[in-house]
Amino acid sequence: MAHMNRAFVLKHRPTANLAAGDLELVETPVRELAQGELLIRNIYLSLDPTNRIWMSDREQYLPPVGVGDVMRGGTVGVVEESRSDRFAPGDIVMPAEGGWALYCISHERATRRVRMASGVPLTAHLSVVGPTGLTAYFGLLDICDPQPGETLVVSAAAGAVGSVVGQIAKIKGVRVVGIAGGEAKCRWIVDDLGFDAAIDYKNEDVGAALDRLCPDGIDMNFENVGGPIMDAVFSRLRLHGRMSLCGMISGYNEEGPLAGPTDFGRVLMKRLTIRGFIVIDYMAQAKQAYTDLSQWVSEGRLKWKDHVVDGLENAPSALDRLFTGNHDGKLMVRISPET
C-alpha cells in the first residue's frame, strides 16, 4: 500500500512576513522508488532564515522554490524503504533536500548517513554537529582567520550559529562580544557559553555599548543580522578588519535590495575584508570540521540549545520565531517520532 505524504507547497510568494495562504499543506501518495532511491521519513525539519529567501524570487544562491512545489528545507530522518545497496531500512540519514514534508525520496548519492554518538541527541545533527556547526566553523575560521587576543563581535549571538561561533572563537583565544536580544539571552552567552561581554540590542544603544566594550576597535565581525546593527559594528572595524557575512535576517521580509554599510569607503580606508559565504561552499571540506566539532562537544567545550516545535502543521508559524527572536538556539520542527 502506498504511503500518503503530507507536505507544504508554496502557493504564493510572500511580500512581507509569511502570511496565511502563502503555504498550503497537501496530501499526496508517495510514488514508487527507482533504483538507487530511498524513501525517508523525515523526523526533524530545520527552520532557517534562508527559508524566507527561498520563498521569494529575489537573487539568491539557489533557484527559488517554484510556486506549487514542496517547500525546500533541511531534514534528518530514517530510511523506510530502500532500493540502494548503500542504505537499509532503519538507517538515520540526512537527504540533500528533505523538504517541509513527512516523507521525501532521495537518491543514494544525495544522502548522507548520520553517525550517532553517545550522549549526542539526534537534533544536534541539524545544529551543533550539523549544518549550523559547519556554518559557524568555516565562517569564523576560514574567513575571519581569528588570532589569539583579537576582538570578535557576533550578532544574533544567542542564535544557533552565533552561539557556536562565539564558543569556537574562545577556543581559539579570541575576546568575544555578543549582541543578543533580551537580558536572559545575554546572560546565557556570558555565564554559560563564556563570551566576554554581551550587548542587549533591545534595551541599549548598540553603538555606545561597542564604544564602551571595544574602545580600541573591532578586529572581526561575524554578521547574521544586517541593517543598523551590522552598520554599527562595521563602522568600528579596525585596520585590516574582517567581516564574515553569514546572514542579513533583518531585511528578509522586505522587498528590494538589502541595504549595505552607510560608509562603504571604510572598506578602502581601513583595508577591510568582507566576504559572504554559504555553508554548501565548504561541503568538500566538511570531514575535518565534523571531527573538530564532535571532539569539542565530547569534551564539553561546545554547548548548544535546540528549540523543537511539534507538528509539521506548525512549521509556518514556527518560522516567524526566527524574526521575532522568540526561540532559544536552533529552531526546528518535529515531524514524526524518533522511533
Q: Which residue has the cell 550578532?
A: 155
Q: Which residue has the cell 549582541?
A: 179
Quote the cell numbers at residue 178: 555578543
- Residue 103 pLDDT: 98
Helices (H), 106-205: 131-138, 160-171, 183-191
Amino acid letter, 118: S
Helices (H), 139-255: 160-171, 183-191, 206-213, 227-234
Burial class (CB in 10 A: 0-12, 13-18, 19+), 47: buried
- Residue 1 pLDDT: 55
Please state the three-class secondary structure of 79-102 as a single string.
EEEECCCCCCCCCEEEECCCCCEC
Residues 130 and 332: their CA atoms lie apart, in Å, by: 13
Strand-strand pairing, 175-180 and 197-200? parallel
Strand-strand pairing, 330-334 and 37-46? antiparallel
Give which of 65, 52, 15 is closest to 323, Cα–Cα. 52
Domain ranges of the chain: 4-126+305-334, 131-280
What CATH architecture applies to the domain 4-126+305-334?
Answer: Alpha-Beta Complex (3.90)
User: Are 182 and 325 contacting, i.e. CB atoms less than 8 angstroms apart?
Assistant: yes
Block mean pLDDT (10 aa), the chain, length 339? 91 92 96 97 97 93 95 98 97 96 98 91 96 97 98 97 98 98 97 98 97 98 97 98 96 88 95 96 93 95 96 96 90 95
Q: Which helix (H) or strand (E) holds 309?
A: strand 306-310
- Residue 114 pLDDT: 95
Residues 143 and 131: their CA atoms lie apart, in Å, by: 17
**CATH number 3.40.50.720 is the correct assignment for the domain at 131-280:** yes
Residues 271 and 71: their CA atoms lie apart, in Å, by: 41
The counts of H helices and E strands in the chain are: 10, 15
Q: At how many degrees (to 10) do helices 206-213 and 227-234 cross?
A: 30
User: Are 139 and 169 contacting, i.e. CB atoms less than 8 angstroms apart?
Assistant: no
Residues 21 and 153: their CA atoms lie apart, in Å, by: 39
